[in-house]
Chain A
Amino acid sequence: MKILLMGHPNVGKSVVFNRLTGARVIESNYPGTTIDYTKGWMQLGGKSIEIIDVPGTFSLEPKDKAEEVAVKMLEEERESIVICVIDASKIERGLYLALQIIEKGYPVVIALNMWDVTEDKNIEVDVERLRQILGIPIVPTIAISGEGIRELASKIEEASPIKIEKIMEKAGG
């Protein structure tokens, strides 16, 4: 089992990554391209689990090289759990990507990162309602200060694949 960190560019994936791994990281090149990705290990339930910081992508229909790499990595790692990092102040676009990943059958945990920014911008996010609709673990985080990271790590093992039809039902079509 591996953990993939996915999300849009500039939502703080790498900061979350560094928090989860304690920054014992190896930089590497994805074969055939110059797109960098980072992998490391984190301790989960006494085991050491590989975690990959996937290049940022807006959707699963790749528009450039970095997005191609992201989509390919997702497809190659069928046995992975995906932590989808979303900029909580730009939640709709993030959820679009999260739903695409859920639709492909991956267990997903959502990190609503930059939670402090939503407060600054007076954006209210009903996390409880979102949990009800999606049926997956959702954790507000502020990666740069480390808030929510421990909770995020503790929820990883609770993730399980959800049928997209079920979500549509609960969201009311």
Chain B
Amino acid sequence: MERKLSEMDYEEEGVVKSIKEDLKEKIAGMGIRVGKKLKMLAKQPIKGPVVVTVDKAETSLGLGLADKIIVEIEK
């Protein structure tokens, strides 16, 4: 099942399937790239950022960014 990163539920895990082309370089520096395993930790209210874990480290992304990342949900 595929879903936008911004639409993942809490505690849900998945693998990054695709990233909008113009964003790839921008977020590679945050450790997020195709094939990476993510876990949704928190979504801040009022269109705030989402927080995910990548490689045991937390990172937060703006909702706009998270909208452009497609994740294959695993559990």
Interface flags for A64-106 (1: CB within 8 Å of B; 0: not) read 0000000000000000000000010111110011000000000
Chain A residue total in the interface (Cβ 8 A): 14
How far apart are A23's CB and chain B's nearest CB, in angstroms? Answer: 29
Contact B57 A89 (CB under 8 A): yes
Known: A121-B56, A123-B56. A90 touches B25 (CB 8 A): no
At the interface, yes or no: A126 with Cβ under 8 Å from chain B?
no
Q: Which of B19-36 contact A (CB under 8 A)?
A: 25-26, 28-31
Contact of A59 with B28 in the complex, beta carbons under 8 Å: yes
Could you give, for residues 23-64 of chain B, a 1 whenever the CB lies within 8 Å of some chain A CB and a 0 otherwise? 001101111000000000000000000000001110100000
With the chains together, A61 CA to B24 CA distance in Å? 12
Most chain A CB inside 10 Å of its own CB: which residue of B28, B29, B30, B55: B29
Contact of B26 among A61, A93, A97, A121 (CB under 8 A): A61
Complex contacts, B55 vs chain A, CB 8 Å: 90-92
Residues of A within 8 A of B56 (CB): 89, 121, 123
Q: A47 contacts the other chain (Cβ, under 8 Å)?
A: no
Q: State in angstroms the CA–CA spacing of A96 and B24 once bound together.
A: 13
Q: Are A61 and B31 in contact (CB under 8 A)?
A: no
- In this complex, what residue of A is CB-closest to B25? A61
| 5 pairs of A and B residues whose beta carbons are closest in the complex | A59-B29, A58-B29, A93-B31, A90-B57, A92-B31
